[in-house]
Amino acid sequence: MTFAPTPTLPRFVGEGARTVEHRPLCREAAEGWGGGPTTPCIHCGQPALSGRRFCCPGCAAAFEVIQALGLGRYYAQRVLDPALRAPRPDTADRWDLARYVTLRSDGAHELTLAVDGLQCGACVWLIESVLAREPDVLQGRVNMTTRRLKLVWRGAAGQADALVATIERLGYRLVPFDAASLATAQDATGRALLRALAVAGFAAGNVMLLSIGIWAGEVGGLLHDMGPATRDLLHWVSALIAMPAIAYAGRPFFASAAAALRHGRTNMDVPISLGVILVTGMSLAQTMQGGAHTYFDSAITLLFFLLVGRVLDHRARGQARATAEQLLTLRAGDVAVLQPDGSMQRRSQQSVAPGDRVLVGSGERIGVDGVVERGSSSLDASLVTGESLPVAAMPGTRVFAGTVNLGEALTVRATATGGGTLLAECVRLIEAAEARRSRFVVLADRVARRYAPAVHLCALLTFLGWYLGVGVPAGNALLIACAVLIITCPCALALAVPVVQVIATGVLFRAGVLLKSATALERLAAVDTVVFDKTGTLTEPTLALVKAHDFDDAALRIAASLAVASRHPLARSLVAAAGPVAAADAVVEYPGQGLGAGDVRLGSRAFCGLDHDVAGGRGPELWLTRPDAAPTCFHFHETLRADAAATIRQLRDMGLDIRLLSGDRVDAVAPIAAALTIATWQAGCSPVHKVAAIDALVASGRSVLMVGDGLNDGPSLAAATVSASPASAADVSQTVADVVFQGRLLAPVATVIRTARRARSVMRQNLAMSIGYNVLMVPLAVTGFVTPWLAAAAMSGSSLLVMANSFRLRRRSA
Amino acid sequence: MNVILYLLGASLILGGGGLAVFLWSLRSGQYDDLDGAANRILFDDDE
């Protein structure tokens, strides 16, 4: 089995701190696994044979450790999500931690690790409590947002291995990474934006207070005693607050506008910067002349609202980027290289040379392409070939980077490493396809591109009209032109899209869908064709025993008693189907062939000594031979995801064209296509075929959503307009996909398209509203009726309207 | 009207104080892990 990294979602303990045993979802998951009666393992919640408390010795050990430390409360307080990676201590990736440990100035060592398998707040509590009991640990703190663990300890750097092993024993997977290289630049911009927002908010509040005093003095006649001297004083104080604040908070806009102008282009920031600078300068001139109207409040409030939009936008993009980084971090492992003198050295994948001999332990992922030299085992190649059944490996077998060793340790002589491996080749295909993907122009930019010149022209014409046409002094004409600029400043326009994006991302996040790209929503809304992969996407990632066969229960129980000993997927399905059985004595596993206990054998046809004439069925099978009975055959088949048919129907009702592209054989694809009534399907597609098929669809003007999970789907995921992967997918596919959905169901595919379409319509409403508002107000501004207070009220009003409209998205989907 | 000068001064000092506190909290990393803070409060360790 592969253990693809699962991007995890936060869960709230408040959702109900039920124990695992009573969680209906867990039971459902357990039964769906193989059909047999199982109970959830006390520690990890994965199916265990009924009557047993644990699914594996690792879980039992973890349970013991937790009880011994007096942290048993963990089980009562946690909430397991069956869609996430279960906290089962079973991965065997080994890392050279010393490379990542840094020495701090106070003599302590520090290490940052990505944590895979965090389920809820209780996990954070457990990890931190366990670390707090280690005498040398100075700090062990989990950041739940970024899912990272920061470890600081006294003493030798080599203690890292022991500390990490302590946590891994509990069932979490820890991956070290270079903390300095990730997320720092991203953080800096985010903080700069927040600081600018804080300054703008402070200044806007204060200036607005002063301005309201001024307006009250002139408009309502409430304060008849405000003389010009007081008004000038208030103007000056406003200027002193607003101008430094504008200079500071406006920098993100000024910088972006300057960059655009240097390249001879214009963007949304150009009218913003121009408007703010002109209005501020104009107001300063008015203040110095003792004029009645200044617009400091408008200028700084405008910046405040715009910064709100900018911060939200940054947050949405940052979330997408953090997800991608998390996946990348979890991807590459270290490689154990056998030195000529027989010793072993851990090295990064890049530093292994062809000809080196690499040791691959049980459960470890092979890091190089090569040929097996010693040992025999079975390999899970699902990441590379998409084949769900393990293949046998013995001396002379070619193996590829990315496959997982399921059996005993293998020695592999590397033939290609790093960039030369098949895995890297696939990644390159993906990158090439991504580069070809035409640059998607975001809705807001499309609008801004036409909007900016129109606004400038309008303001210029207003100025010329008043100055030359009507003949007022240049200063007054400029004042009116400024009012036009303020009214048309794309404040609501700048909020229209990011607010919707943030809300829609949040709605989807709660539904178990991660949006990895900020533009994915708009691309999803445009989709008219959905292309599915079969294995692992439309079907469950695991196989199930066909029950229709005429084997008796006794045979099944005997077979299961052997199969208990094996990690082979077919053996596990068999055990799950058989229910509780005692393990047979003296079971020997012959990797890639089968299991034997005395005269009883369970395994492939050849292993059981049967010739090819014995009637079998199509698809994967296991044979059982006993001394005193006829051979029995167990068949396995792929099962569709429970809601596949319903989801396909929903998608079709939404007017989408559904297609199926599979790398599998025709006779495996045809029944699935028939069951789901998918008329357009192709079998036997290589990755290149898939890309070609998708390119053809895109070239014919369609917007294609590709849903796939294997590494072989990676390139086609990148070639499609937008792509989605289940969380069980190969890590490369998850990295490429725009959308990653959790859980055993296919329904999120329909949900995400539906939400995207709704989000698009809300975005359009927002844009229409803010433009409509401008169309209403511009004539007033052009004719000189807009005073500072009217401008401020109208501007804030439109921004609030747009935000309120966006929040409807949340309510309707709740 | 001298009172207005005191009021202006007072409001600016109060507002500025709020701004300073916010910038400090931002710098000291209090916005780095909002999910964690929300969950941590549910586990009290009295040991």
CB A84 within 8 A of CB A46: no
Round to whole Å and give the CA distance between A530 and A734.
18
The pLDDT tens digits for A39-76 are: 778 887 777 766 677 877 778 888 888 888 888 888 88
- Pair type for strands A739-741 and A137-143: unpaired
Distances (CA, A) of A126 to A56, A73, B43: 21, 9, 10
Burial class (CB in 10 A: 0-12, 13-18, 19+), A397: middle
**Residue B9, min C-alpha distance to chain A (Å):** 10
Residue in A124, A144, A206 nearest the CB of B12: A206
The verdict on a CB contact (< 8 Å) between B36 and A143 is yes
Higher pLDDT: A513 or A731? It is: A513
The pLDDT tens digits for A451-497 are: 777 887 888 899 899 999 888 888 788 888 888 888 877 677 778 88
Closest Cα in chain B to A198 = B19
The verdict on a CB contact (< 8 Å) between A206 and B11 is yes
Tokens of A357: 């001999």
Chain B residues with beta carbon closer than 8 angstroms to that of A142: 36
- Residues 7-36 on B with a CB inside 8 Å of A are 8, 11-12, 15-16, 18-19, 22-23, 26, 31-36
Averaged pLDDT, A370-384? 77
pLDDT at position A244 over 90: yes
pLDDT at position A216 over 70: yes
DSSP result, A3-14? ----------GG
Round to whole Å and give the CA distance between A589 and A494.
64
Name A433's bridge partners.
none
Query: Given pLDDT bands bounded at 50, 70 and 90, which one contains residue A420?
Result: low
With the CA atoms of A416, A420, A422 and A428 taken in that order, what torsion angle do they form, in degrees rounded to the nearest 10? 170
Hey, what amino acid is at A218? Answer: E
DSSP 8-state assignment for residue A219? I
The verdict on a CB contact (< 8 Å) between A122 and B8 is no
Q: Crossing angle, helix A269-289 and helix A296-329, to 10 degrees?
A: 150
**Residue B33, min C-alpha distance to chain A (Å):** 5
At CB < 8 Å, which residues of chain A contact B?
Answer: 10, 12-14, 77, 120-122, 124-125, 129, 142-146, 191, 194-195, 198-199, 202, 205-206, 209-210, 230, 233, 237, 241
CA A27, chain centre distance (Å): 27
pLDDT of residue A424: 65
Round to whole Å and give the CA distance between A294 and A791.
11
Q: Report ipTM (2 d.p.).
A: 0.83
Cβ atoms within 10 Å of A435's Cβ, excluding its own: 8
State the Cα angle at A63 between A62 and A67, rounded to 5°: 120
Hey, what amino acid is at A609? Answer: G
Higher pLDDT: A699 or A628? It is: A699
The sign of the CA dihedral A44, A47, A52, A56 is negative
Chain B residues with beta carbon closer than 8 angstroms to that of A209: 11
Round to whole Å and give the CA distance between A110 and A728.
32
Round to whole Å and give the CA distance between B43 and B47.
12
Q: What Rg do the C-alpha atoms of chain B give, in angstroms?
A: 18
pLDDT of residue A812: 57
The sign of the CA dihedral A151, A152, A158, A162 is negative
Which range has the top average pLDDT, A324-338, A617-631, B25-39? B25-39
Which phi and psi (to 5°) does residue A444 adopt?
-60, -40
Residue in B8, B26, B36 nearest the CB of A142: B36
Averaged pLDDT, B11-27? 88
The verdict on a CB contact (< 8 Å) between A10 and B4 is no
CB A739 within 8 A of CB A755: no
Cβ-Cβ contacts under 8 Å for B7 (sequence gap 6 or more): none
CB A533 within 8 A of CB A737: no
The pLDDT tens digits for A138-177 are: 888 888 777 788 888 888 877 888 888 888 888 887 877 6
Q: Crossing angle, helix A296-329 and helix A228-249, to 10 degrees?
A: 20
Name A623's bridge partners.
A603, A633
The verdict on a CB contact (< 8 Å) between B11 and A124 is no
pLDDT of residue A361: 77
pLDDT at position A242 over 80: yes
Round to whole Å and give the CA distance between A739 and A518.
10
Distances (CA, A) of A636 to A34, A569, A768: 11, 10, 56
The pLDDT tens digits for A70-126 are: 888 888 878 776 656 677 776 555 666 777 788 888 888 888 887 877 777 888 888
pLDDT of residue A769: 87
Round to whole Å and give the CA distance between B38 and B40.
6
Tokens of A718: 């990148």
Residue in B16, B26, B35 nearest the CB of A10: B35
Cβ atoms within 10 Å of A632's Cβ, excluding its own: 21
Closest Cα in chain A to B3 = A230
Cβ atoms within 10 Å of A247's Cβ, excluding its own: 13
Point out the least confidently predicted range of A201-205, A440-444, A559-563, A784-788. A440-444
The pLDDT tens digits for A261-272 are: 888 877 777 778
The pLDDT tens digits for A660-691 are: 988 777 877 888 888 888 888 888 777 778 88
pLDDT of residue A18: 33
By annotation, the residues of A acting in catalysis are: 533
Round to whole Å and give the CA distance between A375 and A370.
14
Residue owning tokens 């075929």: A689
- Residues of chain A above pLDDT 70, percent: 78
Closest Cα in chain B to A76 = B43
